[in-house]
Amino acid sequence: MNTSERIAAARIELLNRYKSLDTKADILKARELKELFSIIPSLEPHERSAFGKEVNALSVELKRLVEADSESSEELAPIDVTAPFDINVRQPEFLPVTQGSIHPLMNEIAVLSDIFSRMGFVIEESREIDDQYHMFETLNFPAGHPARDDYDTFMTQETDKDGHPLIAPAHTSTMQNRVLRKYKANLLAGEPIAAVVPDRTFRNEDLDARHEHTFYQLEGVYVGKGVHAGMLVATLQSVLQEYYQKELEVRVNPFYFPFTEPSFEFALSCPFCSKEGCKVCSYEGWIELLGCGMIHPNVLKAAEIDPAVYTGFAWGVGVDRLVMMKYGIEDVRHFESAKLDFLRQF
């Protein structure tokens, strides 16, 4: 039975059952309808849109039946909006929670957080507004450093105690100093600092299919004795293989970030074509995915951690990009568009 036939069969079953229901709205919670929606994410990208539209059309049809029966069987009493809430003869009906859903980005952040939690990392939250000290100075960006210009940071009219404009964080690395200080006692107890920070970030980007002014990033920090770059590569490879449920090759190329030394660009073999070349990887077989490296000694010193005793690694990855790759989403702007035809596919 193909997907269209499956929808047609479910429609007949649901319409027949609808006639016998005492509470007509129960049809909107039917198992068959939920199963149809659950199939959408597993389909190939070229099938997903058409199937999603058919399922949505069936859902709309059932909702209209329920609304029509409700209007014909019950005359609506007027509501006195000036009266206390419990005085009205008929209280307004609220939208049932069953009609809501989890945003795809929030769902995937939960998946990633679970993976890291099982690996021993704690999950921390970032901030929507921060100061320049945590955005730049704790990360080895001295005042006037040219690398500050690379972040296209949004500045606000509000200022900090030193008179500097507050910012909308351009990366979750603004939390790195706070995380290191918060869990510094772990090091004295012989335990590593291991934390990830998945949260929203903002940059003054020219919007296109791969760039948004608002996006999500996942920062990772690991510090302890004897930590080296091989552990960084192995950690990221293990996480990505668990996330994509596939064996992956990885490679690192030298790069520059002020807050890590050495710094790397981290690439993985395309999980969709096994390095043979496809649209997702621009027919190169590899995908440049994130920036990472060994935490710069100055960053450790800013958190009052002795770099002669402890070393660590850090990384930052765009969650939106991970999700786009996982589901074959062609335009990052869909995530912030509030388009229901897109969101219903998940």
The dihedral through the CA atoms of 211, 128, 113, 195 has a sign that is positive
Segment among 220-224, 226-230, 274-278 with least mean pLDDT: 274-278
- Asked if pLDDT for residue 325 goes beyond 90, the answer is no
- pLDDT given at position 150: 59
Q: What is the mean predicted confidence (pLDDT) over 308-319?
A: 96
Most confident of the ranges 48-57, 78-87, 242-251, 269-278: 242-251
Q: For the purposes of burial, counting CB atoms within 10 Å of the CB of 195, is it exposed (0-12), middle (13-18) or buried (19 or more)?
A: buried
CA distance 128 to 243: 27
Q: What is the mean predicted confidence (pLDDT) over 278-306?
A: 90
**Which structural domains are found in the chain, ordered by start?**
3-99 (no CATH), 104-343 (3.30.930.10)
Please tell me the pTM assigned to this model.
0.68
Rg (CA), the chain: 25
- Asked if pLDDT for residue 82 goes beyond 60, the answer is no
Segment among 198-207, 233-242, 259-268 with least mean pLDDT: 198-207
- Asked if pLDDT for residue 88 goes beyond 50, the answer is no
- Sheet with 214-224, side-by-side order of all strands: 122-123, 193-202, 214-224, 311-318, 286-295, 260-269, 250-257
CB–CB of 66/100 below 8 Å? no
In this prediction, residue 155 has a pLDDT band, given cuts at 50, 70 and 90, of confident
The angle, 0 to 180 degrees and rounded to 10, between the axes of the packed helices 45-73 and 3-20 is: 10
Q: Tell which wins on pLDDT, 294 or 101.
A: 294
